[in-house]
Amino acid sequence: MNNISRTRLFTMYLIYLGITFLILFFQLIPLNLFPEAWVGPDILLGVTLAWVTRQPEFVPILLVTVSFLLADFLLQRPPGLFALLVVIGTEYIKSHVNGLRYASFIEEWITAGFAITFIIVAFWCVQAVVGIGQAPFTMSLLHIVATIITYPAILFGSHIFFGIRKSPSHSDDSMGRRS
């Protein structure tokens, strides 16, 4: 962890926040007010999961909390609920990041897919249980599928543009070799 410079770390924090704002901005623009039959992917969720699986130190828990809480407030979701589920999902991935380091891309994708499914299904279930009026479950299902399908593209984009790659640098054995 120490071999990522402080400036790089803060730059990545800022980039993450910038991405959050950009996504929210483009979602809020009143371009199409007609309800659509299909649902687009949750890009913010995809980006967060991609970064967490690749380089968890770039998305600390507070950053995730802040950006998803802001999204909750602006996107008319029950405040705190989606953020809570995302935090649980990302923390779960973070605790298993050592296992994921040598995982193939497919395994990584499957893990992210499970996290996405868990977050969105749990979100729907909690809303149903506490009796909040919401869209039918098929829409959430489409949302899950769309997010999982776009995940590799998001991963690729993060790799190309922001240099988010697996960090063998702070895995234990390379550390041992270096010191």
68: left (phi over 0), alpha (psi -120 to 50) or beta: alpha
Q: Measured from the CB of residue 161, what is the shortest distance to other proteins in angstroms?
A: 21
Chosen residue from 5, 7, 104, 179 binding other proteins by CB under 8 A: 179
Residue keyed to tokens 């802040």:
66
Per the listing, tokens 């950053």 go with 63
Dig out the tokens for 134 from the structure.
């919401």
Q: CA–CA distance from 134 to each of 90, 115, 137 (Å)?
A: 25, 22, 9
Q: Give the C-alpha separation, 72 to 67, whole Å.
A: 9
The stretch among 7-15, 96-104, 125-133, 155-163 that binds other proteins (CB under 8 A) is: 125-133
Tell me: does residue 150 bind other proteins (CB under 8 A): no
Least separation in angstroms between residue 106's CB and other proteins is: 28
Q: Which is nearer to other proteins, 14 or 74 (CB)?
A: 74
Which of these ranges, 76-84, 96-104, 106-114, 147-155, lies near other proteins under the rule CB under 8 A? 76-84
CA 124 – CA 5 distance, rounded (Å):
40
- When asked if residue 24 is in the footprint of other proteins (CB under 8 A), the reply is yes
Residue of the chain from 34, 104, 105, 160 that contacts other proteins (CB under 8 A): 34
Beta-carbon contacts of 39 under 8 Å, excluding residues fewer than 6 positions away, are: 139, 142, 143, 146
Judged by CB under 8 A, does residue 129 bind other proteins?
Answer: no
In the complex, what is the shortest distance from the CB of residue 19 to other proteins, in angstroms, rounded to a whole number? 15
For CA atoms 28, 29, 30, 35, give the dihedral sign.
negative
- Tell which positions 154-173 bind other proteins, by CB under 8 A: none
Name the residues that contact other proteins, by CB under 8 A: 1-2, 24-25, 27-37, 39-40, 61-62, 65, 69-70, 73-81, 83-84, 87-88, 91, 130, 132-136, 139-140, 143, 175-176, 178-179
